[in-house]
């Protein structure tokens, strides 16, 4: 009843997930990931893989899920920093970029599969990103009193810019990353100013 058995199973499951993570890199993407190699790295026989996942695809979707979870944790972390005061934009973008730097493999997976081969994968990643955007929209509506229509455009634009910059950061040196960070912050500010101007415009047309 101690569940020694179940614990051992979970342990090898984690080993498989970790092995897959380790094998993911810039040169060796998910598509060219083999069941046998993953099993080898996890230290089990290829056949045992099937005790835990039906497919490599199922493993992959698990990775995407875990990546999304990590991203959401990041968001929460970022919001706490905002509460302490300081520039909302700077602290959010900085946190995001730190995540990218510290979780290269998982972010690369998310990006790859965002425009990747499997429809199910793409939808899974898209869901994660939408979640991200939705929280930003709520923030803009609640805290900054934007119209929902403008806030949606605004948030979507920011997410697109920041994710795209994150992608570039993967290949960048620390110095380049620093520059990329500042550029991105400046761009997000431009969008914020543009959204503000658009709001003013809408108001003047309304009256």
Partner DNA sequence: AAATTGCGTGAACAGGCGTTCACTGACATA
Partner DNA sequence: TATGTCAGTGAACGCCTGTTCACGCAATTT
How far apart, in whole angstroms, are the C-alpha atoms of residue 145 and residue 139?
9
**Using CB distances below 5 to 8 A depending on partner kind, what does residue 131 bind out of a copy of itself, DNA, none?**
none
Rg (CA), the chain: 20
DSSP letter assigned to residue 54:
S
Q: Which of 1/115 has CB closer to a copy of itself?
A: 115
The answer to whether the beta carbons of residues 50 and 12 sit under 8 Å apart is no
Helix extents (H) in 29-173? 35-42, 56-83, 88-102, 104-114, 119-144, 148-170
Residue ranges that bind a copy of itself, judged by CB under 8 A:
26-29, 31-32, 108, 111-112, 114-119, 122, 126, 153-154, 156-157, 160-161, 163-165, 167-168, 170-171, 183, 186-187, 189-198, 201
| Six-digit token string for 101 | 């730097």
Task: Compute the least distance from the CB of residue 21 to DNA, in Å.
Answer: 16
Tokens of 29: 């993407």
144 close to 163: Cβ distance less than 8 angstroms: no
Of a copy of itself, DNA, none, which one sits near residue 186, judging by CB under 5 to 8 A according to partner kind?
a copy of itself
Query: Which secondary-structure segment (H or E) carries 98?
Result: helix 88-102
Q: Closer to DNA at the Cβ: 1 or 175?
A: 1
Can you give the binding site for DNA, defined by CB under 7 A?
A: 1-6, 8-9, 12, 34-37, 44-52, 55-56
- Quick one: 35 or 191, whose CB is closer to DNA? 35
Q: How far is the CB of 181 from a copy of itself (least distance, A)?
A: 13
């Amino acid at each position: 009843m101690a569940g020694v058995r179940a614990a051992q199973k979970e342990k090898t499951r984690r080993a498989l997930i970790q092995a897959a993570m380790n094998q993911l890199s810039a040169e060796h993407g998910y598509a060219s990931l083999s069941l046998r190699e993953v099993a080898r790295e996890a230290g089990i026989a290829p056949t045992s893989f099937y005790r835990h996942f039906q497919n490599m695809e199922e493993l992959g979707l698990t990775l995407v899920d875990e990546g999304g979870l990590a991203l959401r944790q990041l968001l929460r972390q970022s919001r706490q920093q905002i509460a302490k005061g300081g520039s909302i934009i700077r602290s959010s973008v900085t946190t995001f970029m730190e995540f990218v730097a510290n979780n290269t493999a998982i972010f690369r997976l998310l990006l790859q599969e965002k425009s990747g081969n499997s429809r199910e994968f793409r939808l899974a990643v898209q869901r994660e990103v939408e979640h991200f955007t939705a929280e930003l929209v709520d923030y803009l509506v609640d805290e900054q009193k934007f119209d929902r229509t403008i806030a949606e455009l605004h948030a979507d634009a920011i997410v697109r810019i920041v994710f795209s910059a994150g992608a570039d950061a993967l290949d960048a040196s620390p110095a380049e990353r620093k520059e990329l960070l500042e550029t991105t912050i400046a761009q997000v500010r431009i969008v914020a100013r543009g959204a503000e101007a658009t709001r003013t415009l809408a108001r003047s047309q309304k009256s």
